[in-house]
Amino acid sequence: MRRFLPLALACLWLWPGPQAQAPAGSPVVTLQHDPGLSAGVRAALAGLPAGVKVGLLVRDLTTGALLEARGADLPLIPASTTKLVTAASVLVDRGGAEGWWSTELSVPATEVGRARVSHLTLRGSADPTLSVASGANSLRALAQQAFARGLREVGAVRVDETGLDARTWQNTVLGVPMTTVRLAEWQGRPPVTAAEARARVGAALIAELRRAGVRVSSSRVGTAPPFRPSAPPPRTDQRGRPLPPDPFVPVRFRPEQGVASVRSASPFGVLAATLRPSDNLRAEELLATLALRPSGNGTLAGALARERAVLRRLNVDLTGVHLADGSGLSRQNRQTARALVGLLKALHDLPYSRGEGRAVSPAGIYLGRRNAFVEALPQAGTGENVPNHGGRGGTLALRLRGAGLDVRAKTGTLPGVSALAGYVTGKSGHTLAFAILMNGPQETSVLTLRAVQDRVVQAVARAH
């Protein structure tokens, strides 16, 4: 009997037991394992320096199949591929390529229609495209509107700063405060404090008001209290006893009323101006728009929380993902290749197209170069050699030249860190989403890492 005991125990160990029956109509879940690497990709990665960690994933966006994977769930420093998250979150938050930001001038509700008002308040949505005097989205256009509506004299100018807590951005690597009213002209010399930002934007507005024919009594720029609807004072009878609200009086009212407003063009332009040259300041400005009250809580942490919420809505796997800023300058950021490819797939599939026309498939929008997110990315091999990566090719202009590939992707670079994530058209004609994250010792040659990435992209396109 003893000689059969080990065999019996082994059979018991291997027997799966009674099988649970799935309820009728329940979906069948099939576990999908990541593929390995094709020979060409293995050969390309063989050129990596010692000590470099790699996260790599490639997905066919036509079939949905995963094609290549290595370390897809490794949390790695993403550098400027963080800007993909920033841009995507803003695009979703604005409702797509046809969204906008707005800026308003308001006066006390009791002074609406008067030629002279005690104060004029500038209220913004952190629009990074607002200019002093260029076009319809400018302080000049606001001043001209106010004059056209009969405003002739202003006692004082105030700037509403309550939408953002500027101090929370001063702890980032960039160290520039984010404010509710920003000017495109600040790209060259951003303000270093919120007070300086208020003074500069206030001075520019006063100058434009005076230019439009509106007299401003004081050159001192003040701050506005929180702009919230207020309940009317409670009603009482002659003995001071409370009465119910008057049904003919609005329960809430605006203490101020707008007299002029402007709005930005589509966010596509600023997304392209951020992603193609990898502009760090613009990336932080875009992130700040997500924090604006009342939708956000006014802080950097609040903006990052809204980004995570957007990623969850897009079904991006957030395992191992940590967001620290909008630009990717912080080495505290962590991304995985799986998360980035998930984001790229979602933004390929969303119908955020440029221009109007009959509805077409996401693939058709992509091939027609009307996907707003994709077209904001750098394009490889354009050959432009312009200062500050200002052309269509951006930071990819001089890479993959002569390869004959359609590659639109975001680069990322920090000491010892190099990344590339985006789209390439494979030999099948299918669009492939890919992410390659490389982290090594800080003395690792970034040029070597970039060369390996370029060989990987070429190998992926040849294999698929």
| DSSP assignment string, 60-78 | ETTT--EEEEESTT--B--
Residues 6 or more apart from 230 whose CB is under 8 A from it? 252, 253, 255
Grade residue 14 by pLDDT with cuts at 50, 70 and 90: very low
User: What's the confidence (pLDDT) of residue 228?
Assistant: 52
CA distances from residue 313 to 79, 306, 342, 412 in whole angstroms, order as listed: 23, 10, 12, 25
User: What's the confidence (pLDDT) of residue 29?
Assistant: 43
Q: Are 310 and 92 in contact (CB under 8 A)?
A: yes
Grade residue 232 by pLDDT with cuts at 50, 70 and 90: low
User: What's the confidence (pLDDT) of residue 230?
Assistant: 47
User: What's the confidence (pLDDT) of residue 62?
Assistant: 95
Of all residues in the chain, what percent carry a pLDDT higher than 70? 86
User: What's the confidence (pLDDT) of residue 188?
Assistant: 83
202-225 residue pLDDT tens: 999 999 999 999 999 999 998 987
Q: Are 144 and 107 in contact (CB under 8 A)?
A: no
What is the C-alpha to C-alpha distance for residues 208 and 185, in angstroms, rounded to an integer? 15
Domain with CATH 3.40.710.10 in the chain: 39-98+268-463
Residue 61 gets the label, from left (phi > 0), alpha (psi -120 to 50) or beta, of alpha
What is the C-alpha to C-alpha distance for residues 390 and 272, in angstroms, rounded to an integer? 10
Say yes or no: domain 102-226+252-263 is CATH 3.50.80.20: yes
Which CATH number is 39-98+268-463's, of 3.40.710.10, 3.90.1150.10, 3.40.50.10860, 3.40.109.10?
3.40.710.10
User: What's the confidence (pLDDT) of residue 234?
Assistant: 66
Angle between helices 82-93 and 337-349 (to 10 degrees): 30
End-to-end alpha carbon distance in the chain = 59
Strands 153-159 and 102-108: unpaired
Residue 183 has pLDDT above 90, yes or no: yes
CB atoms within 10 A of CB 312: 11
Q: Are 194 and 177 in contact (CB under 8 A)?
A: yes
CA distances from residue 231 to 176, 245, 375 in whole angstroms, order as listed: 37, 10, 47
CB atoms within 10 A of CB 12: 9
Residue 4 has pLDDT above 50, yes or no: no
Domain with CATH 3.50.80.20 in the chain: 102-226+252-263
User: What's the confidence (pLDDT) of residue 32?
Assistant: 59
Mean pLDDT over 381-397 rounds to: 90
CB atoms within 10 A of CB 94: 19
3-state secondary structure of 309: helix
User: What's the confidence (pLDDT) of residue 8?
Assistant: 40
CA distances from residue 353 to 266, 372, 375 in whole angstroms, order as listed: 11, 5, 10
Q: Choose among 443, 398, 411, 407: nearest CA to 426.
A: 407
236 forms bridges with which residues in the sheet? Answer: 242
Grade residue 171 by pLDDT with cuts at 50, 70 and 90: confident
3-state helix, strand, coil in the chain (%, to 5): 35, 20, 45
Give CA torsion, residues 35, 463, 420, 374, to 10 deg. Answer: -110
Mean pLDDT over 388-414 rounds to: 94
User: What's the confidence (pLDDT) of residue 233?
Assistant: 59
User: What's the confidence (pLDDT) of residue 106?
Assistant: 93
Higher-confidence residue: 22 or 367?
A: 367
Mean pLDDT over 267-282 rounds to: 95
Grade residue 357 by pLDDT with cuts at 50, 70 and 90: low
User: What's the confidence (pLDDT) of residue 231?
Assistant: 53
Residue 30 has pLDDT above 50, yes or no: no
Mean pLDDT over 5-32 rounds to: 41
Q: Are 89 and 310 in contact (CB under 8 A)?
A: yes
Higher-confidence residue: 188 or 212?
A: 212
Give CA torsion, residues 252, 253, 258, 263, to 10 deg. Answer: 0
71-118 residue pLDDT tens: 999 999 999 999 999 999 999 999 888 889 999 999 998 999 999 999
Q: Choose among 136, 138, 41, 122: nearest CA to 434.
A: 41
What is the C-alpha to C-alpha distance for residues 53 and 116, in angstroms, rounded to an integer? 66
407 forms bridges with which residues in the sheet? Answer: 424
